[in-house]
Amino acid sequence: MFNAVARWKVSVFGLGILVAGSSVNAAVISVKAMKLNGVNVPVANQSNLNVKPDDTIQVELYLSGWANAFTPTQGCTNQGLRSFQARIDGRTSYKSGDNGTILPSGWCANFDPILCPGTPCPTEFPTCVEPFPGCTCAGHDPECATCAFMDTTRTDFLLFNIPSIFATDVSSLNYTYAGVPKARVNIADTGVPKYLATVFLKVSSIACGTFTIDLIKGDGTPTVIADNCTVPSSHYPTTVPLTLTIPVADCVRQLLSCSPSHCNEDARIAHLPTQPPTGAHTQNTNTMVMTFSKPTAGMGTTDLEASRIPVVGTDPVLTLASATPGTGPTANQLTVTFTSRIRAQRWTCVRDKLSNKRCCMASHPGDADGNRFAQPDDTFEIFDNLQSNLGLTIEKCDTDRSALCTSADLLWVVDLLNGAGTYDIANGASIPLCPVSRLTPAPPP
């Protein structure tokens, strides 16, 4: 097996081998699942395969149907295929919503690069690899001999037994394979698909749903083939992607939603007018209901992690008093109770360690429009709601917690903004952007 791995940013075709051009859309590059955990995949499932968390899939790329791919050009009538570049679309292939990842074996870096050394690397990805992929973990080795390669010794390889230049770029998730003969040759289309390259994919332990492994198409640095003319012309093949599906029944428990909903801001008073503003948040909630994809029986506080954003030194330590699984119709729910009421001008978050997702809610008195700032505009939001029924939720318009949205709430917002009575001045108070639900993926085992 010939495995030439190169960390290059300019593709082989960027070296002057290929110029612009296109023609009849005939050639096809297919992405196929050939083996699942070392066992051959039936032909019927090579383009659409059900997998499970932690599975390993051997994926191969094949080229077919290029006989009429190129249009004649002046001075070149013998337009057989000469060279190729196949580039996986890493931005769309390896992620399915918030439900984990399917990444190439040996890839141990955050899906969204954490650039370094300008940014400190987190504990789960402590090693800095410049410039890409940035922060990685000790197991990051996409260049391993059995991770991604072109087996040029296979008799079905497109350039088999032809002296050629080969390169495999694994410096980013857009894995790229390219090959071009050293001499101008004509590779005829015999009607049999030709092997191009191999990549091994690893399903993450929390992956769920459907993933579509496809190639980059179009302009820029696409998947492309070239003819053998002195001045080559290019063709963008059609791609047939690979669909990998983790059925719900095989998924690990997933956090689906929460109540209050993720990123919810409660604009109501955090304490009564007779209470001091510091340390008394007795009107705020101290519970959250989390809904999962599977029953929560057996879950407890050790399955969760609580946090505040931002952290304020005067806050009491945020801990969980209990986590109570539901029963019957609510078997998929978990009711979480904090040891204290949530604090104002903070995001209070609870993370499910298994799915690595979290729910965050905030107390932000006076912020009726939910834009993270308490300001005079919030009085108009409540006024307009009273006049035209804008549909503000109770935690946005019922500032005084009377269980009704009335004109009195308008005056309460004014009092909060001005710091009337025992209230701190809320005008101008803000909170950060709501934390993302999906946290940085943990490194694979």
Residue 429 lies in a domain: no
Tell me: do 236 and 319 sit in the same domain: no
What is the CATH number for 210?
2.60.40.680
Tell me: do 313 and 236 sit in the same domain: no
Q: Mean of the per-residue pLDDT values for the chain?
A: 87
What is the CATH number for 381?
2.60.40.1130
Residue 442 lies in a domain: no
Question: pLDDT tens, 288-298?
Answer: 999 998 999 99
Query: Which of 237-246, 404-413, 421-430 has maximum average pLDDT?
Result: 237-246
Q: Render 400-422 in DSSP notation, one character per residue.
A: T-SSS--HHHHHHHHHHHHT-TT
Residue 445 lies in a domain: no
Within 76-185, strands assigned E span 81-87, 102-104, 127-129, 134-136, 148-149, 164-169, 176-181
Tell me: do 348 and 410 sit in the same domain: yes
Tell me: do 63 and 207 sit in the same domain: yes
* Beta carbons of 430 and 362 less than 8 angstroms apart: no
Residue 117 lies in a domain: no
> Taking Cα atoms as reference points, which of 306, 292, 308 lies closest to residue 251?
292
Tell me: do 324 and 218 sit in the same domain: no
pLDDT-based confidence at residue 16 (cuts at 50, 70, 90) = very low
Residue 392 lies in a domain: yes
Tell me: do 289 and 407 sit in the same domain: yes
Domain end (from 211, 227, 250) = 250
Q: Is the pTM of this model over 0.75?
A: no
Tell me: do 157 and 277 sit in the same domain: no
More confident residue, 290 or 1: 290
Tell me: do 155 and 53 sit in the same domain: yes
Residue 77 lies in a domain: yes
The predicted model gives 191-207 an average pLDDT of 94
AA letter at 52: K
CB-count exposure of residue 196 (10 Å: 0-12, 13-18, 19+): buried
Residue 59 belongs to what domain range?
A: 12-107+142-250
Does 178 have pLDDT greater than 60? yes
Domain count, the chain: 2
pLDDT-based confidence at residue 20 (cuts at 50, 70, 90) = very low
> Taking Cα atoms as reference points, which of 151, 145, 121, 150 lies closest to residue 133?
121
The predicted model gives 7-28 an average pLDDT of 46
Kindly state the tokens that stand for 261: 């909903």
The predicted model gives 157-172 an average pLDDT of 94
Question: pLDDT tens, 372-388?
Answer: 999 999 998 999 989 88
